[in-house]
Chains A and B, each alone.
Chain A
Amino acid sequence: MILAVGLNHYLVLSALIFSLGVLCMATKRNAIGILIGVELVLNAANINLVAFSKYNAGVGDGHIFAVFVILLAAAEAALAIAIFMNFYNTLRTIDVDRGDELRG
């Protein structure tokens, strides 16, 4: 049955979400929109890790990696939003294209 789900299904799904994340990063002008894109990319990576852990290597390594990825994503989001706050405080906008000057 062609619809029976295997590893490849997860990998293709992850590839699609990854591309959408990249697209999101490229098209959004809002800094938080870019952050959302990053989260999408990380989620895509996580799907891969968990799928491989289920279908391939077996032991929980993939799970552990995914836990760390989630953890780092949370940390990164916190830091990124702090930076955006600073950015907004300086430039009064959250449009990343306006942050093209190197002075603070």
Chain B
Amino acid sequence: MDDLAFYIFAAVSLLSAIGIVASSNIVRSAVCLLGTLGGVACLYFVLDANLLAVIQLIVYAGGTLVLMVFGIMLTSKSPWVGFRATRGQVAGAVLVAILMAVGISTLVLTAEWSQSANAPLKTSPSVAEVGEMLLTDYLVPFEVASVLLLVVMIGAAYLARTEK
């Protein structure tokens, strides 16, 4: 069942990702991004990372994506405004991307991972464990991240204002 779920959600995320690239309309790209984010969140569920999945949904889909759509609305005049790259650029980019995908995939498939790559661990960290790790082992990054968020909040508010 998990395998089937993986294939379904992987297909959803991949197709949506392709949709992001293929769509010339930026709002449609953003909607496709919702598909990818949702698909990846479902993959987290499949991987037993429940906390991460809901964080992905609440922060990415509920927060960042709304912010992006907001940004799109503030910066474009009609739903149909789109900028396209030239054919040459697109061809080059596609070539590079294909090379990159093939290269990384080959690397991944040929690499020898330290443990058995096909036997998932039975125990996944629970929410409580992740929380405890955040407040013990990773306390400094956690606090730094909170300061960073504060700085970003102030910085974003400052930057978005027009100069007086």
Contact = CB atoms under 8 A, between A and B. Distances in A.
A8 B98 CA distance: 18
Interface residues of A, number: 73
A98 B160 CA distance: 19
Interface residues of B, number: 87
Given A22-B97, A29-B85, A79 B21 contact: no
Contacts of A78: 64, 67, 152-153, 156
Contacts of A76: 152
A36 B29 contact: yes
Q: Which of A19, A37, A58 has the most CB of B within 10 A?
A: A19
Interface of A: 3-13, 15-24, 26-33, 35-37, 39-40, 43, 46-47, 50-51, 53-56, 58-61, 63-64, 66-68, 70-79, 81-86, 88-89, 94-95, 97
Closest 9 CB pairs of A and B: A60-B125, A29-B83, A26-B93, A6-B118, A19-B101, A7-B117, A15-B104, A82-B156, A23-B97
